[in-house]
Copies of this chain bind each other. A is one copy, B any other.
Amino acid sequence: MQPDATDKKILELLQENAHMTIKEIASRINLSVTPVHERIRKMEREGFIEKYVCLLNRRKLGKSLLVYCHVTLDKQRKESFEEFNKAIAGMPEVLECSVVSGNFDYMLKVVVSDSEDYNQFYQLKLSALSSVLHISSYFVISEIKHTTGIPVG
């Protein structure tokens, strides 16, 4: 069953602040705590809500550099994709990695401390993979928008 309008309001609030109490959510949407609680549990059970996480300030933690990479594999073959996918899983600096359509194979989002740190990652980890043919790096100069909230309207 898809979330109804009330469920969606709850999701919007929780996507913005998961520490909001059920009581607070209830008062915002003019309901008592019980139905709000039940709706949340239901959406958790049914997988609409996947998990609750905290978001950190990467700059304060010294991870000031954000880089997007385009990766082209040497050969578009099963073994290459498998090697690459497996390697990516073990790289904590890679936050996102997707196979994309277009003139390259992968799109990566990488978080590192600085350009030297990125160089280490680039030379010792990414280009060390035999499956990799070509890498283009795009350094983020300014983050205009950054949200984890998907539109539920």
Contacts and interface: CB of A to CB of B under 8 A. Distances in A.
Interface stretch (A28-36, A49-57, A72-80, A124-132): A49-57
Given A138-B101, A139-B101, A146 B96 contact: yes
Interface residues of A, number: 62
Contacts of A15: 53-54, 56
Contacts of A52: 17-19, 52-55
A16 interface: yes
Chain copies in complex: 2
Given A51-B17, A53-B18, A150-B61, A144 B98 contact: yes
Given A68-B107, A88-B145, A56 B152 contact: yes
Given A97-B144, A107-B140, A140-B100, A3 B61 contact: yes
B56 A48 contact: yes
Contacts of A85: 144
12 contacts: A15-B54, A17-B52, A53-B55, A56-B150, A61-B152, A95-B147, A95-B150, A96-B143, A96-B145, A96-B146, A107-B138, A107-B140
Interface of A: 2-3, 11, 14-19, 46-58, 60-63, 66, 68, 85, 88-89, 92-102, 106-107, 111, 136, 138-153
